[in-house]
Amino acid sequence: MSHHEAWRSVLPAGFSWPSGVRAAACFTFDLDAESGLLFDHPEVAGQLDVMSHQAYGPRTALPRLLRLLDRQGIRATFFIPGFSAERWPDGVRSIRDAGHEIAHHGYLHEGSRGADPATEERRLLRGFEALEAVAGVRPIGYRAPNWELSYALPAILARHGIRYDSGLMDADHPYRLAVSPEPGAATIVELPAHWALDDWEAYNYLPGLTGSGVIGSPAEVVARWTLELDALVPEGGLFMLTNHPFVSGRASRAAALEGLIEHARAIDGLWIATCAEIAIHVETLDLPAVAHQPPVLPEG
């Protein structure tokens, strides 16, 4: 296919799914618990009401979600901050023991804003240490807290053995992400995500802390996600759903999520997989590397 004809294909140049697969879906969970608020709002550590809201995730929602995933016979990916692992070790070990993937999600759920590379590296290493100590796991995947990535972060991830990131938002298909614009730079796999396929904005509300105050109906939220899934399948895309146990583990929301999973399982040719399984497949493809560079702002 010529360069001028590339737009005719729904799949990017060089990209393919395994034989018999039309599209793929990952059901992922960010086990933020208290750490999801403590970095940006350390004052809430002393607010029992807020901390109980976050503790619902590992205390009550996680067992419900593990039962749901077991009923549906699918493996999920759990992105876990190191602080959450230290505070809820039994919950993290239950994820591991149920056969799900554990991936890296910072230490205290720290995004990249305002952090220099040395700080980002220190946080990454602290997260690795916590997951190793609690669950004996060395993750190969990373999701930036708040989906905040600096331009320096991919190189730090690659240097410490991270093979994929999930959180950039410029594609419907996985791609090979170059860690710098330099020729021959190392690459990791990017598994793109999107705010619309995240439960935080749809459901989450804490007065003065997060949310619009409009809490979505599970029927409406899952209907939106289903529309995106059904549209991505003929595009051969990756449906990357991001949920949080303290958010989507509430009873009616979990029931609606299970309906979505049942819908996904009934789609012919849809590969439901962990992020690691997708990334390992993408590593076998001869894909051009994508190097992101910040735009140069015009003077004046």
Residues 6+ apart with CB under 8 A from 86: 130, 133, 134
Percentage of the chain beyond pLDDT 90 is: 94
Does the residue 8 lie in any domain? no
Q: Which residue has the tokens 């409406």?
A: 220
Does the residue 300 lie in any domain? no
Decide the pairing of beta strands 141-142 and 164-165. Answer: parallel
Tell which phi-psi region holds residue 129, choosing left (phi > 0), alpha (psi between -120 and 50) or beta: alpha
CATH number at residue 193: 3.20.20.370
pLDDT at 4: 59
Q: What is the pLDDT of residues 175-194, one digit of tens each?
A: 999 999 999 999 999 999 99
Does the residue 266 lie in any domain? yes
Question: Which of these, 136, 34, 145, lies nearest to 84 by C-alpha position?
Answer: 34
Looking at the 3D structure of the chain, how many domains does it have? Answer: 1
- Hey, is 125 helix, strand or coil? helix
- For residue 84, CA distances in Å to 59, 87, 217, 262 come to 12, 5, 28, 29
CA–chain centroid gap for 77, Å, is 8
- Hey, is 114 helix, strand or coil? coil
Does the residue 12 lie in any domain? no
Q: Which residue has the tokens 């190189």?
A: 155
Q: Is 19 exposed, middle or buried (0-12, 13-18, 19+ CB in 10 A)?
A: exposed
Q: What is the pLDDT of residues 25-73, one digit of tens each?
A: 999 999 999 999 999 999 999 999 999 999 999 999 999 999 999 999 9
Does the residue 13 lie in any domain? no
pTM: 0.96
Three-state secondary structure of 225-283: HHHHHHHHCCCCCEEEEEECHHHHCCHHHHHHHHHHHHHHHCCCCEEECCHHHHHHHHC
pLDDT at 2: 54
Does the residue 14 lie in any domain? no
Q: What is the pLDDT of residues 233-273, one digit of tens each?
A: 999 999 999 999 999 999 999 999 999 999 999 999 999 99
Domain of residue 58: give its range: 20-40+49-291
| 198 bridge partner residues | 242
Does the residue 219 lie in any domain? yes
pLDDT at 229: 98
How many angstroms separate the CA atoms of 89 and 82, rounded? 10
Indicate the DSSP class of residue 296. Answer: P
pLDDT at 9: 84
Read off the amino acid at residue 222.
V
pLDDT at 8: 80
How many angstroms separate the CA atoms of 45 and 34, rounded? 8
Does the residue 296 lie in any domain? no
127 neighbors 104 (Cβ within 8 angstroms): yes
How many angstroms separate the CA atoms of 216 and 241, rounded? 16
pLDDT at 300: 79
